[in-house]
Amino acid sequence: MSSEKAEKIVLGIESSCDETACALVNDKREILSSVVWSQYDEHRRFGGVVPEIAARAHLEKCDLLIKEAMDKAGKRFEDLSAVAVAGGPGLIGGVLVGVMTAKTIALCHHLPFIAVNHLEGHALTARLTSPVQFPYLLLLTSGGHCQLLIVEGVGKYRRLGGTIDDSAGEAFDKVAKMLEVGYPGGPNVEKRAKEGDEKRFHFPVPMKGRAGCDFSFSGLKTAVRMCIEHQEELTEQTKSDICASFQKAVIAQMSDRLDHAIEIFKDVCPTGKDLVVAGGVAANQSVRNMLEEKAKKTGLIFSAPPIKLCTDNGVMIAWAGMERHLLGLSDSLDFRARPRWPLTELSAK
């Protein structure tokens, strides 16, 4: 039986958006293999992810990437302890591809099937790469989400605040599209911001000074659009200056909201020592720099996954699956893929 094996190994499958990814990790916190196939070329001409195209691409690539991940790790299905898959939230067509593939593997090879919440995959990755202990304060920021949470354990999340409209990642992508700086938006805006003057334009910092830990990026996005419309000539330097000024406003809002979250975290979790950032926007170096400085000033330990593990990947799903497997958790094969799945609805019973 897989539970009797000296080394526990979990295969993770991720297909919730526009990356098809597979990875194997073991219970010694070692990444045995990681393979990611990105669909940038398929979606670039549309300026964003087209769900139907993404689902077809996952269907074409998933089996091939699983084989590649298994071969790179030098493992067979008989060596696995469990198979984990992103069961949501995400684009439902892509999620279904991954879920049905994982169910088939679990059924054919008599393995535990673990449906991982995509967001929990991001949330727990820092525990694979750093000595992060529960509880910890988490800024989860990506293309579809921007939340501040206290992570009390596997499946145990206390939400302090979230976006009331657009996420930070979505705002980055929309600004990139308005400025025509290319897809994927977030990395391109960050790149152009390094070449720009962040003091040239003064964009509003929504929610600054307000109580609580909620975010709002819609008004900032609108301010950027109006700024673009008022430019007599939208030069490349002006584009870079807008990117820099926009990024500065995003970080200023994150900093303000984080001040409130840290105060709450220290009050309700006096033993908590870690501030963690996860999700695609966590790959932004300016965001990381702000968080690292914030942690130093407040006596917390800053942790973030390596940049390659911030964007969607199979490692985060495999590791979240491992965390659950080590607690004896699994899911039945009648699990239904979910386009929406809040972290606060999880459990670790």
Per the CB < 8 A criterion, the answer to whether 102 and 83 are in contact is: yes
Mean pLDDT score across all residues of the chain: 94
Which pLDDT score is estimated for 208?
Answer: 95
297: left (phi over 0), alpha (psi -120 to 50) or beta: alpha
State pTM to two decimals.
Answer: 0.93
Confidence of residue 47 (pLDDT cuts 50, 70, 90): low
CB 31 within 8 A of CB 103: no
Q: Are 183 and 48 in contact (CB under 8 A)?
A: yes
pLDDT for 93 beyond 70? yes
Per-residue model confidence as pLDDT tens digits over 123-176: 999 999 999 999 999 999 987 889 999 999 999 999 999 999 999 999 999 999
Nearest to 157 by CA among 167, 169, 168, 145: 145
| Phi, psi for residue 278 in degrees, rounded to 5 | -150, 165
Alpha helix segments (H runs only) across the chain: 40-44, 51-73, 92-109, 118-129, 168-179, 185-193, 218-229, 236-268, 285-298, 314-326
Q: pLDDT tens for residues 26-42?
A: 999 999 999 999 865 67
Q: Is the pLDDT of residue 48 over 80?
A: no
What domains does the chain contain, in order, with CATH numbers? 2-124+309-345 (3.30.420.40), 133-307 (3.30.420.40)
